[in-house]
Amino acid sequence: MDEDVLTTLKILIIGESGVGKSSLLLRFTDDTFDPELAATIGVDFKVKTISVDGNKAKLAIWDTAGQERFRTLTPSYYRGAQGVILVYDVTRRDTFVKLDNWLNELETYCTRNDIVNMLVGNKIDKENREVDRNEGLKFARKHSMLFIEASAKTCDGVQCAFEELVEKIIQTPGLWESENQNKGVKLSHREEGHGGGACGGYCSVL
């Protein structure tokens, strides 16, 4: 619709049950959800347009809210994703430990290896922290992920997380360009979007 939208990006939110994935998503997408609408259109993701470095990108963010107990994540969920937000709860170590399983899934389903991953330590507003910031940072570094700590409750870092991710994706033109061409989406190409430039530096980007 928006002619000046550079591209549409598919972003996944994954992580253990109860880490606050949907809260994160909803905080970012301005708390709008209408089941009626969802049923009519038949979409299971939420869309938001975001502007980073003067580039507008439309994000289709996929979430499995409420279904974690079903073993339902399938390749189609992962297919074509350009960015993944891997969430854990800083107050529950088990959610951090299980990150390996999620990486296994990513490795299996995401055929390309230039997908941008971001690790988000959620719920930093809570006091009973079990996972230290440095641990998260280390894990992220080990697996070449962006890292940020956030609180969906206070909205701390939520916007930042998504912006950071998008920025990184846009800086990797091969990632989103080829995807879009494959899908036959017509792009209103501006100048090549790569080298988007300095990141804000407000997050720990690794």
Tokens of 183: 């899908």
Cα separations (Å) of 176 from 19, 59, 100?
Answer: 28, 12, 26
Residues near 124 by beta carbon (within 8 Å), at least 6 away in sequence: 90, 149, 150, 151, 156, 157
Helices (H), 1-122: 21-28, 35-41, 75-78, 93-97, 99-109
- Per CB under 8 A, which region of 58-66, 154-162, 166-174, 196-204 contacts other proteins? 58-66
Interface with other proteins (CB under 8 A), residue from 72, 113, 134, 182: 72
108 is a contact residue toward other proteins (CB under 8 A): yes
111 is a contact residue toward other proteins (CB under 8 A): no
- Please say which residue, 77 or 147, places its beta carbon nearer to other proteins: 77
105 is a contact residue toward other proteins (CB under 8 A): yes
171 is a contact residue toward other proteins (CB under 8 A): no
Of 177, 176, 156, nearest in space to 166 by CA: 176
35 is a contact residue toward other proteins (CB under 8 A): yes
Q: Contact residues for other proteins (CB under 8 A)? A: 17-18, 22-23, 26, 31-36, 38-44, 64-67, 69-76, 101, 104-105, 108-109
